A = this chain, B = another copy of it.
Amino acid sequence: MFELLFKSITDKIEISLIELDSVQSFFTTKKLRRKQYLLQEGDVCKYIAFVTKGVLKSYTIDEKGAEHIIQFATEGWWVSDNYSFLTGLAASYTIDAMEDSELLLITHAAMEEMLFAIPKMEKYFRILFQNNIIAIQNRLVCSLTQTAEEKYKKMNDDYPNIIQRVPQHTIASFLGITPETLSRIRKQRAGKD
């Protein structure tokens, strides 16, 4: 259950087993069926979630009803609406499970307590967020500079496992292109690489 989280932590910081045990005590576990919500737009995001099994997606819905994927989260990834979690204001993102999933949850209060009790964890999250910034910035640059085909190719290179696990129209939404365009690109690319 907690092995993945421990691995994520020990990859980034030095920490004792006793402390890890203490970390564990701040989390609760949750199972989510496919299509179940972890968070709905407009609610307050009470938890940051660490995925131990399954795939979730976080997304916003625009005025026209179209989904725009912010992030996929599989095993070993964190997911939440950071803004809502931090401020306690209504979430602008929705998060749901694309497969039956298992999560470790921590509330804002538990997070504060944990960071107070185990200050090392500040460093863990600092590094985690720093890496996250690098990844999102990179995605932003790609979205500004690349063509639809280049985006899809990069997605294939960077997250081959996600491509295999989630429906194609969801990938399209993540890349910011229409399902039709993605379908055409795939047809065109068939055989390449």
Contacts and interface: CB of A to CB of B under 8 A. Distances in A.
Interface in A48-85: 60, 62, 66, 68, 70-71, 82-83
Dominant secondary structure of chain A at its interface with chain B = helix
A115 interface: yes
Interface string A142-164: 01110000000000000000000
A19 to B, nearest CB: 14
Contacts of A143: 140, 143-144, 176
7 contacts: A82-B133, A83-B138, A86-B131, A115-B123, A119-B119, A122-B126, A136-B136
User: How many copies of this chain does the complex contain?
Assistant: 2
A84 B123 CA distance: 19
Contact of A136 (B115, B137, B144): B137
Interface residues of A, number: 31
Interface of A: 60, 62, 66, 68, 70-71, 82-83, 86, 115, 119, 122-123, 125-126, 129-134, 136-141, 143-145, 176
A141 to B, nearest CB: 6
A2 to B, nearest CB: 22
Given A70-B141, A126-B129, 15 more contacts: A60-B145, A66-B145, A68-B141, A68-B145, A70-B137, A71-B137, A82-B130, A86-B130, A86-B134, A122-B126, A125-B126, A125-B130, A136-B137, A140-B143, A144-B176
